[in-house]
Each structure stands twice: as C-alpha cells, then as structure tokens.
Amino acid sequence: MRRRIPRCRELAPLLRFKRPTLRLKKRRLQSALTIGDLRAIAKRRTPKAAFDYTEGAAEAEISLARARQAFQDITFHPSILRDVSDVDTSVEVLGGHSALPFGIAPTGFTRMMQSEGEIAGASAAGAAGIPYSLSTMGTTSIEDVRAANPVGRNWFQLYMWKDRERSMALVDRAAAAGFDTLLVTVDVPVAGARLRDVRNGMTIPPTLSPRTVLNALPRPAWWINFLTTEPLAFASLDKWSGTVADLIETMFDPTVSFEDLTWIKEQWNGKLVVKGVQSLDDAKKLTDMGVDAILLSNHGGRQLDRAPIPFHLLPEVVREVGKDTEIHVDTGIMSGADIVAAIAMGADFTLIGRAYLYGLMAGGRDGVDRTIEILKTEIVRTMKLLGARSIDELNPGHVTQLERLTPRRWS
C-alpha cells in the first residue's frame, strides 16, 4: 500500500470544526439528548430537598419503578416501505388542537424547583402549541399563568378541599381567566408516605439545617434565584408553614365522593377530566356520568405504593369505554417512544410531569423548551421507524406489552 503526505486542500472537505457555543446554559442544554440527560443536569443544579421532591415517590417507590419498567417492557412492530417523509404529530383533544400528543401535567411547588416555575412551563407550552395544566398547589396565580400563555390552552387541576366554597372560588377564577378544562384529581384522600421529603425536612418555606446549607454551597444559582425573586406563595393559598404532607392532610377532604364530582360537573361549563383513575370499574362509572376524559394515573407513584400501572390498565379501559370518552394516561413517561407506545395502545392523549420538571430545573424556560424538543424529536423518529405518518395511524398492532408482573393463579 502506497502512502503519501496529504495536501491541505484535500483535508478541508474531510475535517469540519464545531463552532463553540459561548452561552453556558445553551451549551449545557444542547448537550442533553434525552430526558435522562436533563435529569442529570437538574440534579447537579438543584438542592437535594427540591430535587428529591420532584424525583421521589411514595414509600419504597415501587409504583414509579414499575410504571417506568412497563414502558421498557414493550416490543415495537414496524411497518416497512411507507412514505414517512412527512409526519403529522397533531391531535384533537377535548375539543381543541394540540400540536403534539402530550401536554404538561399539573405540578405543585413548581417555583421551589426553579424560580421561573409555572411561567416557564405555561409559556413554553403555548409556544409549542400544547396544553398546560396549573395545579391547585401551583406557586403562580391563575391570572399570571393566563398572562404567560394568553392564546394557548390552559387547564386547571382541582383538589377538592374541605372548604367547598373556597374550592369553587378557584374554579370560578379559572373559568374567568379562560381556562378551558378542569382536571379533578381524585386519588389524594390522604397524603402518600413520601419518605424522601420527611428525611429531607421538606417544608414550605425550606427548613435550613447544616446539611441543607452544605448541600446548597455548590448550587449558588438556585439560592440566588430563590432569594431574589418573589417569595414562594401558592396560587390558592395565602401562606403555609409545615411539611407537604401536613398541608395535604389539612386541606384535602377524604369524604369526597361521586356525588361531589357530579356537583362539580354541574358548575363547570368547560371540559371535565377525572385524574387518578386506577380501575376499570371506576372508569365505567365515570363514563356513565358523562365526564369528557378519564386520566389513568397513579399520581406518578406518589400516593399508594404498589398501585396499578396505568400503561398496563390502558388497553382494557380503552376496549371497554374508549368509544364513549377520551382516555388519557400519565405516570412513568420519560421519552417520546413511551408516548408513541401509549397512543398506539389506545390513549387519546398523555401528560408529562417529571420530564418537564427535569428540563425546568436544568435551565428554566429554555430547559422546558428543550424537554419538548427532545420529546418531539423522539416521537417523530419513532413514528417514522414504525411507518406511521400520523397519530391516527398508530394502533395496537405497532406495540406488544411484554408480561413481567402477572397475577398468581389460585387453583
């Protein structure tokens, strides 16, 4: 083999130097290729108590682990030789348009995780053309969220309090602000045992201990933002001092029933979604009531540990009531492939919680934009590889749920 010294003009087409990105945050977010990458950045930049509040689940966190495992335990079945040069990711959900088959789930205490909080989430959702959900435990007012997302779709999540008048006052404010959908969460009669929060002394405002201070030293940006922005307050509360669990025990009503849900439905003129459904029987009852959508969810594993896995429950619920009401799903979604799998198995829509919060903690509004961009890229790529040109073309033939946890048969 003969060798020679290469000429410079021959090397030029073969070598291309990457242009450096001078903005540190932009470079940091561009390096994140998955939601897992955003999580790693978020963990480095966020104090342990706030990060663990996002990351953690109830008791041994088995529910969350199983929900994530369920999405890994699938097989995709591609269809070949389809023209997938153009892919349509849009859906119609609850009487309106969404550019992608997912929206942002309601999350509490959001400005504690990163100071831009709900404003970052709502404005990013509006820019992406997807719905944004504000929690009763949100740390930005209903009116300020509307101002941040004035033309996009805003949904309001309601916990029914013991004080019914106060609960409905929030609903009236959401209606007045143009929120088009009410998500009534029904799986929090009492607080789940979120042990990370107890161990971290997670309170509102945060409790400072020597360990808390030491943990914060490598994360000055979080503390600077926390201390120099508006004091943490709730969209629906004047003030609170105590643990998250104490707040839930004090506010939320364990007597809420189907009759209460009927009462709420009579007073709300928009679309009504019931969040936290975990059985087929309850799904049937809600369908008979005429709710607009059922959200299969075990609260991200944050309430009852070892609860049913929403993704596993999905096919049965779709088969029994999917023709009569929309079926949405959350819990365990960490990639665009997870979203595609849920849609293929019959879900009309999905919601993301932790995935969005990892982006928020990693980079504020820019981080939320990056979350949406990553998920969109993964959805489009997965659809093209499956041979699906639109969301409507996804079907159960594209996915097999592999069995790992099966009920024991008693003879």
Amino acid code (one letter) for 377: T
- pLDDT of 249: 65
Phi/psi at 185 (5° precision): -85, 130
- Model confidence pLDDT, tens digit, residues 251-274: 778 888 999 899 999 999 999 999
pTM of the shown model: 0.91
Question: Could you give the CA distance from residue 391 to residue 101 in angstroms, rounded to a whole number?
Answer: 8
Q: Are 124 and 145 in contact (CB under 8 A)?
A: no
Could you read off the pLDDT of 259-316 as tens digits, one per residue? 989 999 999 999 999 999 999 999 999 999 999 999 999 999 999 999 999 999 999 9
Catalytic residue set: 299
Q: Which CATH number fits domain 38-401: 3.20.20.70, 1.10.10.10, 1.10.940.10, 3.10.20.740?
A: 3.20.20.70
For tokens 């025990």, the residue is 249
Residue 137 neighbours by CB distance under 10 Å? 22
**Rg of the Cα trace of the chain?**
23
Q: Residue 266 CA to chain centroid, in angstroms?
A: 28
- 43 contacts: CB under 8 Å, gap ≥ 6: 51, 55
At residue 401, the 3 state secondary structure works out as strand
Q: How far apart are CA 58 and CA 303, in angstroms?
A: 6
Q: State the pLDDT confidence band at 340, using cuts at 50, 70 and 90.
A: very high
262/266 Cα distance (integer angstroms): 6
Cα 340–Cα 102–Cα 261 angle in degrees, nearest 5: 120
Q: Spell out the domain ranges in the chain.
A: 38-401
Residue 156 contacts residue 174 (beta carbons within 8 Å): yes
Name residues whose C-beta falls within 8 Å of residue 71's C-beta, 6 or more positions apart in sequence: 311, 332, 333, 334, 335, 337, 338, 341
Quick check: 288 and 320 in contact, CB under 8 A? Answer: no
Of all residues in the chain, the percent with pLDDT exceeding 70 is 89
Write down the pLDDT at residue 157.
96
Q: How far apart are CA 274 and CA 157, in angstroms?
A: 9
